[in-house]
Amino acid sequence: MKTTWKGIAVWAGSLALGLAFGFSSLNAHAGEVVLYSSNQPELLDVIAQGFKEKTGHTMTSVRMGTGEAMKRIAAERANPLCDVFWSGDVAVLDNAKADFAAYKSPEAEGLPATMIDKEAKWIASNTHLMVFMVNTKLIPENEAPKTWADLLDPRWKGKIVMANPEKSGTAYAQVYGVYKMFGDEGLAKLVDNATILDSSSLVYKGTAEGEFALGITLEYAAYRYVAGGNPDVKIIYPSDGVISAPEGAALVNGCQHPAEAKQLVDYLLSKEVEEMIFQKYYRRPAREDTATIGGLPDTVSLNILKSFDPAEASALKGKILAQWKKLVLNK
């Protein structure tokens, strides 16, 4: 009797353990610099390869959401396992500043002031422009709104969609931008006009499929459809202020490989990497000396909303969202 059960237990146990070890070995490549990143795996592979060719150092990456990464980095404070975090909303990085070390990369020279933290605890690598994505089957391009002021006009009521700022960081950036331009009144008009969807992906998907006429969304998300060959999608950069929400890289405080980590930050901010990401993933570089792609306008030719301040955005978050929630619940 005992042998039967023992046999089964040993068999099941060793099966589970064997598989587990098999898998954990897939996880842990022997490596030097450790990067936590919210970027897609294939991009991280390209970066690891390029960094190795350029510097000879090996880079290991762990992929997770920005919020999750901040929690992990905070939890590992006593014994940092991560050297560099790359590509998260700078407002989120700004909140987690205590866990980052100041590093003024030589690559950051010439960046606009809003693209680098005052203490250089984070540096922007790319930026998301908030655009109007229009489906020309539903609104002819020449009739589409060209400015935020136009978009807030009651005649667009029910025709525009946006993501929920209580759930999505980019949607909050849009709301904060509108607040900076038009104040509380702007928020009320926006809530009145827009259908609010639960995730940002529903905005660009639905607009591309012709379900919605106009979506407030990220430039790269809209441009993926243009580049993919969808003839109905047009992108409008509002001329009264393009909201620009930067994403950045940061060096972890007290990390184990500071020298290599600094080289990695330099590499991530370099012109070649930022241009490559622009070409492949349509994410606009933070630096302004890069070549643009496929008919997209140069950053310098756009009226970027100068008053957009990531630090203030995160400071005002509670107040603006409370106001927003009140407007939505009583809609």
Q: At what angle do helices 41-55 and 258-269 cross, to 10 degrees?
A: 110
Asked if 272 is part of the footprint of another protein (rule: CB under 8 A), the reply reads: no
Asked if 238 is part of the footprint of another protein (rule: CB under 8 A), the reply reads: no
All residues at 6 or more sequence positions from 193 whose CB lies less than 8 Å from its CB, including other chains: 151, 152, 153, 154, 156, 157, 158, 159, 160
Q: How far apart are CA 117 and CA 101, in angstroms?
A: 11
- Residue 273's nearest CA partner among 120, 59, 130, 28 is 59
Size of the site for another protein (CB under 8 A): 53
Asked if 1 is part of the footprint of another protein (rule: CB under 8 A), the reply reads: yes
* Residue closer to another protein, measured from CB, 221 or 302: 221
- Percentages of the chain per state (helix, strand, coil), in multiples of 5: 50, 20, 30
Kindly identify the residues of this chain, within the stretch 182-211, that bind another protein according to CB under 8 A: 195-199, 201-202, 204-206, 208-211
Asked if 25 is part of the footprint of another protein (rule: CB under 8 A), the reply reads: no
* Residue closer to another protein, measured from CB, 42 or 298: 42
Q: Which of 54, 97, 146, 224 binds another protein (CB under 8 A)?
A: 224
* Residue closer to another protein, measured from CB, 104 or 326: 326
Q: Which of 6, 52, 167, 319 binds another protein (CB under 8 A)?
A: 167
Q: How far apart are CA 289 and CA 110, in angstroms?
A: 9
> What is the pairing mode between strands 123-135 and 214-218?
antiparallel
Q: Residue 129 in contact with residue 285, Cβ under 8 Å?
A: no
Footprint on this chain of another protein (rule: CB under 8 A): 1, 4-5, 8, 12, 15-16, 19-20, 23, 26-27, 41-42, 62-68, 165-169, 172, 195-199, 201-202, 204-206, 208-211, 221, 224-225, 227-230, 317, 321, 328-330
